[in-house]
Amino acid sequence: MKTIVMTGGTSGFGADARARLAARPGTRVLSGSRSTAPTDPDALPLDLARLDSVRAFAQAVIDRLDGTGIDALVLNAGLSFRTGDRRTGDGFETTFAVNHLAHYLLIRLLMPHLGPKATIILTTSGTHDPDLKTFLPTPPRHADARLLARPETDPQRDTDPRSAGGRAYTSSKLCNILTARALAARPEARDGHWQVLAFDPGPTPGTGLLRDTPPALRLTWRLLGGATRLMSRFNSRTAVAAALTDLTIGTVAAPPGHYYARVVGNQLTWTTPSQLARRDDARDALWADSADLLSLS
């Protein structure tokens, strides 16, 4: 029995990928969701905006493992807001807390239970890279966990609410790549021969990413999900789900030296992330500072 643990498997391409994975013989997908169906024994309660819920989810997963290892950990959940003024009950900026900090905590809690040759995937976004000139004109300025967690303390913080919301999202996606790199550099990953990847689905209409936008934009985004064949700059949910599934089960492996998988024109490609995402000092500082924010040793 292969065990896959997943976040972000209840909507969009994540739900499509989860269905593909769960349909494979001898595979179970333990997935987290804020609303779980009582008829789905493998759906476990999880609210990524609450660290106590993250810890409870991790413990529930460990209990279900019953001593076996995790074959793949897919950290796919993500959100964005129009503004950057939301805070979690733990006091952290919500986009950073959900997209990065909660997933970092899950990694730390589940690391001892990852099996040999496990695959770990963190879903990121090309919006982290200013050279790609994506639809978000607010690329990250830094990956300082303390300032991203409490942006009101950042001397360079955005005063415009919409810019602050966009910057919170792109910065969290930068953190996903740096976390993947930091995990891959850990001795546990080397000794376990883990494959650690950052996955960029590209612009994929039909997902819930724009749930906080005005109704007209949400409707357009949903309708585009059924017409991506006519829109060359967008990817289809089907293609992205297939790519994520292939990476998770190892049908597609990263070429030597690569860890950043990006879907472009419905095709999986391998490229390099931004300059800031490749900085080892930013990688190491983010890992250490995130641990401090969570009171982890």
Catalytic residues: 169
CB atoms within 10 A of CB 229: 9
Query: Rounded to an integer, what distance in angstroms lies between the CA atom of residue 113 and that of residue 118?
Result: 10
Amino acid of residue 288: A
Q: Please name which of 143, 157, 130 lies closest in space to residue 288, comparing C-alpha atoms.
A: 143
Residues 245/20, Cβ–Cβ less than 8 Å: yes
Query: Rounded to an integer, what distance in angstroms lies between the CA atom of residue 12 and that of residue 222?
Result: 10
CA distances in angstroms from 172 to 149, 187, 188, 199, 246, listed in the order given? 10, 25, 24, 14, 25
204: DSSP letter: -
Residues 87/94, Cβ–Cβ less than 8 Å: yes
Query: Rounded to an integer, what distance in angstroms lies between the CA atom of residue 254 and that of residue 271?
Result: 10
Q: Say which residue the tokens 């690569």 belong to.
A: 258
Exposed/middle/buried for residue 60 (C-beta within 10 Å: 0-12, 13-18, 19+): middle
